Amino acid sequence: MGLFDWIFGQFIDVIEWTDNSQDTMVWRFNRAGNEIKYGAKLTVRESQIAVFVNEGEIADLLTPGIYELETKNLPVLTSLQHWDHGFNSPFKAEVYFLNTKRFIDLKWGTKNPIMVRDFEFEMVRIRAFGTYEIRISDPELFIREIVGTDGHFTIDEVENQLSNLILSKFATLMGEDETPVLDMAANYERFGEYLSRKIAPYFSEYGLELTQILVENISLPSEVEKALDKRSSRAIIGNLDDHIKYQSGEALSGDGGAASDMVGMGAGLAMGQMMAESMRSDRPKPPPLNSATTIYHVGIDGKAQGGFKMADLKQMVVDGKIDTDTSIWREGLDDWQSASKLLPELFKTTPPPLK
């Protein structure tokens, strides 16, 4: 290399930033004494913006491209003050590179449960979490309001504040919204769109654009979730009597261990029934019905007929119109019952059929 090549090299700088990280938002070009040579080459890549700061003031914003730092190419630089050497000698300035790409998968979540009203569960506490995306929309405002003189500004330095903004608005949304807790999962997208509209103006005050908010989960306390699981299990089982019969049959046809488990379950159910009966025994009982004056209805050929007195029923038994399986109902019963169960006395004196 010749002398003139060496001298020329001292007066040419290459100013660029190749970002190898995923979290850097702003990076200041490191130059000894902030001295930049006249005619230096500046490379601004896609998803970058270069900001010139001269004597503490923002002088220019440069979008993606290759620039030669001289007045004929950058006439805006003439607005910089104190160029004592007529742009032919090194000048002192700072160059900040801003990363304008989207910063994705940023986390937000409730630190403490939020108390809300619910028409089914009355009052419940909920937690929520999700992600959001941002990017720098106003480089000049972002440097002035957030970055300052930080030479290496990362997303971590502002993420907590942004998450707090989201949480404050989410709490307000949950307090105003009347969506039932059990229907919230179907409204995650609506909640995200609402939050984006409400919070975006606050992000713009920092020179940032909130591009998207995602609500990934809204959950209840573990105790409430366990209660819901039990309630769901009961609903899936359906008729409890039929389920117990089925389980008993399965246990008897299986191994001894399962059978013994079912015996224990049966004992527990029997005990519960006994306790319930004992509690009901303290209640006043209605007087016995006078069977002679009670009116009965009989199911004959799929049709309800009545009302009959006891004497009528006895004659119908003799005539063969009523047998032990005939359905009979009287006032005070919840459902029809077989004649043999409701009125067994009808069949004690009935002669057997002739052969």
CATH classification at residue 186: 3.30.479.30
What interhelical angle do 240-253 and 256-281 show, nearest 10? 150
pTM (two decimals): 0.58
Together in a domain, 162 and 144: yes
**162: nearest Cα among 142, 188, 185:** 142
Q: 155 and 198 in one domain?
A: yes
pLDDT at 345: 83
Q: Answer whether residue 254 is part of any domain.
A: yes
Tens of pLDDT along 328-338? Answer: 888 888 888 88
pLDDT in tens, 161-220: 999 999 988 888 888 888 888 888 889 999 999 889 889 999 999 999 999 999 999 988
Domain identity same for 28 and 85: yes
pLDDT class for 285, splitting at 50, 70, 90? low
Residues 216, 114 within the same domain: yes
215 with 109, same domain: the answer is: yes
The residue among 125, 120, 122, 134 whose CA lies nearest residue 165 is 134
Interatomic CA distance for residues 284 and 111, integer angstroms: 55
Q: Name the domain boundary from 41, 68, 99.
A: 99
**How do the residues of the chain divide into helix, strand and coil, expressed in percent and rounded to 5?**
40, 25, 30
Q: Are residues 35 and 58 in the same domain?
A: yes
Please give the span between the terminal C-alpha atoms of the chain, in angstroms, as a whole number. 134
Residues 115 and 207 in one domain: yes
Residue 121: inside a domain: yes
Measured CA to CA in angstroms, residue 37 lies from 16, 32, 52, 55, 299 at distances of: 14, 12, 14, 16, 110
Last residue of a domain, one of 99, 124, 151: 99
How far is the C-alpha of 8 from the C-alpha of 74, rounded, in Å? 21
Cα-Cα-Cα-Cα dihedral of 144, 146, 148, 153, to 10°? Answer: -140
What is the pLDDT confidence band of residue 231, given thresholds at 50, 70 and 90? Answer: confident
Phi/psi of residue 86, each to 5°? 65, 35
Of 14, 22, 20, 24, the closest CA to residue 44 belongs to 14
Counting residues of the chain whose pLDDT is more than 70, the rounded percentage is 71
Would residue 291 count as lying in a domain?
no
Residue range of the domain that includes 55: 3-99
**CA nearest to 168, candidates 215, 110, 214, 103:** 110
Do residues 8 and 60 share a domain? yes
Helix (H, G, I), strand (E, B) or coil at 353: coil
Tell me how many domains the chain contains. Answer: 4
Is the model's pLDDT at 88 over the cut of 60?
A: no
Residue 147 has pLDDT above 80, yes or no: yes
Residues 142 and 182 in one domain: yes
Of 66, 99, 132, the position where a domain reaches its end is 99
